[in-house]
A = this chain, B = another copy of it.
Amino acid sequence: MSSKEQYIGQYFGIQPQLLPQTATFFKENALLKNEYFCRQGRNCNTLSFIRSGALRVFAYQDGKEVTQWIAAEGELITDLSSIMFGTTARWEIQALSDCELYSIDRNDLNRLGDFIPNWAALEKTFISKCFLMLEDRVFSFLSMTAEERYQQFLVKRMHLFNEVPHQYIASMLGMTPETLSRLRNKNLK
């Protein structure tokens, strides 16, 4: 089984016999560091598995960039509103490093339902899991200090520290780079 098939199977729980056919819909492509996967206000018609590299989802607020999320190897990236509802994208999505992707466009994504019997249900399941993850994230802002969010991040996604600039991690965690730096320092001692 190709790596591509493994990614897809893992994410959506597609029956093994349908995997090869499903996988043909996903095309390999690449992004160079700093290239945009998608621009706010334009359409984003692509959903991709990240085979290597990392991307950051952000938006501007009062002239500053606020990082909403960082997606890395083995994860999915898209602008959900655009891919699901055909709206313009809510987010800027930019490659933090050279990226290799397996990508499917909006039309093909919708066509998957034609031969995967329970495709809508699989999508529903997938989006529900994303919802629960965001629910946890909201709760972390309601109930935790910056230091606790940092600790939790260490446990869940420590590997990102070696892959992407810390300033973006700080922003994603709702703190300044200075605060993140101090927390790291404090924890090393």
Contact = CB atoms under 8 A, between A and B. Distances in A.
Interface of A: 59, 61-62, 64, 66-68, 80-81, 84-85, 90, 118, 120-121, 123-125, 127-128, 130-132, 134-135, 137-139, 141-144, 171-172, 174
Contacts of A121: 120
Q: Name the prevailing secondary structure of the A interface residues.
A: helix
B84 A128 contact: yes
A123 to B, nearest CB: 5
B80 A142 contact: no
Taking the full assembly, how many copies of this chain does it contain? 2
B135 A68 contact: yes
B66 A142 contact: yes
A123 B106 CA distance: 19
Nearest to A124: B124
A49 B66 CA distance: 35
B134 A135 contact: yes
Given A84-B128, A143-B61, A171-B142, A90 B135 contact: yes
A120 B123 CA distance: 9
Given A80-B128, A81-B132, A124-B127, A141 B139 contact: no
Given A80-B128, A124-B120, A127-B127, A174 B134 contact: no
Most buried by B among A68, A123, A124, A130: A124
B80 A141 contact: no
A172 B125 CA distance: 26
A125 B123 CA distance: 10
Contacts of A132: 80-81, 90
